[in-house]
Amino acid sequence: MDWSVEKILSQSCELFNFNNLYDTVSGKRWNHWADQLADEIPAAFEIAQNGHLPMWKEIYTQLPFLRPDEVILDQPIIKVRSNNLPDEEVTQLIEELLLKMHPWRKGPFRIHNIYIDTEWQSHQKWERLKDDIAPLQNRRILDVGCGNGYYALRMLGEGAKFVIGVDPYLRYIVQFRMLTHFMRDATENAMLAPVGFESLPDNLEMFDTIFSMGVIYHHRSPFEHLQKIFDGLRSGGEVIMESIVVDGNEQTILCPQDRYTKMRNVWFLPSALALENWIKRVGFQNVRTINISTTSMQEQRTTRWMPFESLADFLDPADSSKSFEGYPAPKRAIILAEKP
Rounded to whole angstroms, the Cα distance separating 250 from 254 reads 12
Q: Domain containing 320: what range?
A: 9-338
Residue type present at position 123:
H
pLDDT in tens, 223-281: 999 999 999 999 999 999 999 999 999 999 999 999 999 999 999 999 999 999 999 99
pLDDT at position 301: 98
Domains held by the chain: number: 1
Q: Say if residues 21 and 191 touch (Cβ distance below 8 Å).
A: yes
Whether 2 is in a domain gets the answer no
Residue 1 maps to a domain? no
CATH of the domain at 32: 3.40.50.150
Q: 3-29, pLDDT tens digit by residue?
A: 233 333 334 457 778 999 999 998 768
Cross-strand partners of 240? 211, 336
Q: How far apart are the first and last CA of the chain?
A: 53
Model pLDDT for residues 138-159, shown as the tens digit of each residue: 999 999 999 999 999 999 999 9
Q: What is d(CA 298, CA 180) in angstroms, rounded to the nearest whole number?
A: 27
Quick check: is 59 in a domain? yes
User: DSSP string covering 167-182, please?
Assistant: -S-HHHHHHHHHHHHT
The more confident residue out of 42 and 312 is: 312
207 within a domain of the structure (yes/no)? yes
- Percent of the chain whose predicted confidence (pLDDT) is above 70: 96
Q: Does a structural domain hold residue 4?
A: no
- Domain membership of residue 3 (yes or no) is no
User: Across the strands, what pairs with 300?
Assistant: 120
Whether 137 is covered by a domain: the verdict is: yes
In a domain, 201, yes or no: yes
Radius of gyration of the chain (CA): 20
Q: What does residue 218 show for φ and ψ, rounded to 5 degrees?
A: -90, 0
What local confidence, expressed as pLDDT, does residue 12 receive? 47
| Spatial contact of 76 and 123, defined as CB atoms under 8 Å apart | yes
- Select, from the ranges 54-63, 77-86, 288-297, the one with the highest average predicted confidence (pLDDT): 288-297
Mean pLDDT of 100-117: 97
Q: Are 67 and 184 in contact (CB under 8 A)?
A: yes
